[in-house]
């Protein structure tokens, strides 16, 4: 059962793609009350929350002042900025506001820098609050789903999570070409970006391994690219032959010399690749090898043209649904292992 008390007061912090979806979800939620909205853009300050997410006016106006947020005395802050500011997080927690965040820093307390962990835990103790990182990936697909799938195993040989994203209809040239590096010669792509899985997904794999009493010996992370065989037109522009048309990032948890837990993300703009890659429709594939083997596909039944509008919900909704559970948790940095199974209040 949900621990909802019929009205946790929530602040939405930041209103990007995911934050805007979360804001809408809080306003429409039967057991949550919107207490405030924090924005970074000066033009948004003073705007009614409803206007920021396409709903009717709420009477709650956005602010750029953290002091105004702290003065609200909210039960929880949905913290969704582009970058994590530990000073902000500690001020929120110390003030008595719990934090649910789609930032990835807090999936596993032991993976934090020791000094940062000490500061955050001290803030939680002062405020009697907790903080939890969640979302779709990492989060739902790297923690919640694997824990369910392994609950019917007594021997686990390996668990591999594969994420696929077809970006061919994503009309975002700045994201695809400038940020992600599609359309560039392979030599110009920053390999560090492709191998960031150790910090982004490593904590989830370590957490999962510890939960299963299968501690890992090490984490390995790598990245690779494939190029377009011929010029191809995508929604964001033209990919010339020989330029980056697909990217793959892999992080693996090693135990006794072999990969027992792996996460692999494949982003692509065409399937006509050199070298040829085995790619699937947008979604997730999970392969479990053990004494109860499983082969699971989770696909997004959404036209590619609408994926940019729909996909933020996969991340935002999990965070919103988690608010009552984090508010009920004991103070500290709380992982998925510290919380009950998240059950959405949909009535």
Residue-wise pLDDT tens digits, 53-103 = 999 999 999 999 999 999 999 999 999 999 999 999 999 999 999 999 999
Residue 189's pLDDT is: 75
Mind giving me the DSSP string for 73-95?
--SEEEE--SS--HHHHHHHHHT
Buried b (16+ CB within 10 A) or exposed e, 178-202: eebbbbbebeebeeeebbbbbebbb
| CA separation for the pair 319, 307 (Å, rounded) | 19
What would you measure as the largest C-alpha separation in the chain, in angstroms?
60
Residue 67's pLDDT is: 98
Q: Which of these, 307, 276, 66, lies nearest to 170 by C-alpha position?
A: 307
Residue 1's pLDDT is: 30
Directed axis angle between helix 17-28 and helix 312-328, to 10°?
60
* Beta pairing partners, 63: 38
Residues 6+ apart with CB under 8 A from 113: none
Bridge pairing between strands 283-290 and 294-299: antiparallel
Full set of structural domains in the chain with CATH: 8-136+312-338 (3.40.50.720), 154-291 (no CATH)
Residue 190's pLDDT is: 65
Structure tokens at 179: 């940020």
CA dihedral 183, 298, 147, 317 (to 10 degrees): 80
Residue 197's pLDDT is: 78
| CA separation for the pair 295, 85 (Å, rounded) | 39
* H-type alpha helices, the chain: 17-28, 49-52, 66-71, 86-94, 114-127, 145-149, 173, 191-194, 197-200, 202-211, 304-310, 312-328
Directed axis angle between helix 86-94 and helix 114-127, to 10°?
20
Mind giving me the DSSP string for 195-249?
TTHHHHTHHHHHHHHHHTT---SEEEEEEEEEEESS-EEETTEEEPTTSEEEEEE
Q: What is the DSSP letter of 48?
A: B
Residue 193's pLDDT is: 64
Tell me the per-residue pLDDT of 152-192, one tens digit each, with 9 for 90 and over.
999 999 999 999 999 999 989 999 999 899 999 998 876 66
Q: What is the DSSP letter of 331?
A: S
Residue 79: CB atoms within 10 A of its CB come to 26
Q: What is the chain's pLDDT, residue by residue, as a tens digit (347 residues)?
A: 333 335 899 999 999 999 999 999 999 999 999 999 999 999 999 999 999 999 999 999 999 999 999 999 999 999 999 999 999 999 999 999 999 999 999 999 999 999 999 999 999 999 999 999 999 999 999 999 999 999 999 999 999 999 999 999 998 999 999 989 999 999 887 666 666 778 899 999 999 999 999 999 999 999 999 999 999 999 999 999 999 999 999 999 999 999 999 999 999 999 999 999 999 999 999 999 999 999 999 999 999 989 889 999 999 999 999 999 999 999 999 999 999 999 999 98
Evaluate if pTM is beyond 0.75. yes
């Amino acid at each position: 059962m949900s621990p909802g008390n019929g009205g946790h007061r929530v602040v939405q912090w930041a209103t990007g793609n995911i934050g805007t979806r979360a804001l809408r979800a809080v306003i429409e939620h039967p057991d949550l009350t919107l207490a405030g909205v924090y924005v970074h853009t000066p033009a948004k300050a003073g705007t009614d929350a409803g206007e920021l997410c396409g709903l009717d006016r709420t009477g709650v106006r956005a602010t750029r002042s953290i002091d105004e947020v702290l003065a609200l005395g909210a039960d929880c802050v949905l913290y969704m900025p582009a970058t994590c500011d530990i000073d902000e997080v500690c001020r929120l927690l110390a003030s008595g506001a719990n934090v649910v965040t789609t930032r990835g820093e807090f999936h596993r307390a032991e993976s934090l820098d020791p000094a940062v962990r000490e500061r955050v835990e001290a803030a939680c103790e002062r405020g009697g609050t907790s903080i939890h990182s969640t979302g779709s990936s990492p989060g739902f697909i790297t923690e919640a789903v694997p824990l369910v799938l392994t609950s019917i195993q007594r021997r686990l040989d390996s668990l591999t999570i594969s994420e696929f994203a077809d970006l061919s209809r994503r009309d975002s040239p700045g994201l695809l070409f400038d940020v992600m590096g599609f359309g560039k010669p392979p030599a110009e792509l920053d390999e560090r970006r492709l191998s960031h899985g150790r910090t982004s997904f490593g904590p989830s794999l370590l957490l999962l391994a510890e939960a299963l009493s299968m501690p890992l010996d090490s984490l390995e992370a790598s990245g690779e690219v494939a190029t377009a065989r011929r010029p191809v037109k995508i929604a964001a522009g033209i990919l010339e032959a020989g330029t980056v048309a697909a990217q793959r990032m892999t992080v693996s948890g090693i135990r006794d010399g072999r990969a027992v837990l792996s996460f692999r993300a494949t982003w692509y703009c065409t399937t006509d690749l050199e070298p040829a890659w085995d790619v699937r429709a947008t979604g997730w594939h999970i392969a479990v090898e053990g004494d109860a083997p499983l082969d699971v596909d989770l696909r997004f039944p959404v036209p590619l043209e609408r994926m940019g509008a729909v996909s933020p919900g996969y991340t935002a909704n999990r965070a919103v649904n988690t608010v009552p559970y984090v508010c009920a948790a004991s103070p500290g940095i709380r992982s998925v292992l510290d919380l009950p199974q998240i059950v959405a209040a949909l009535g």
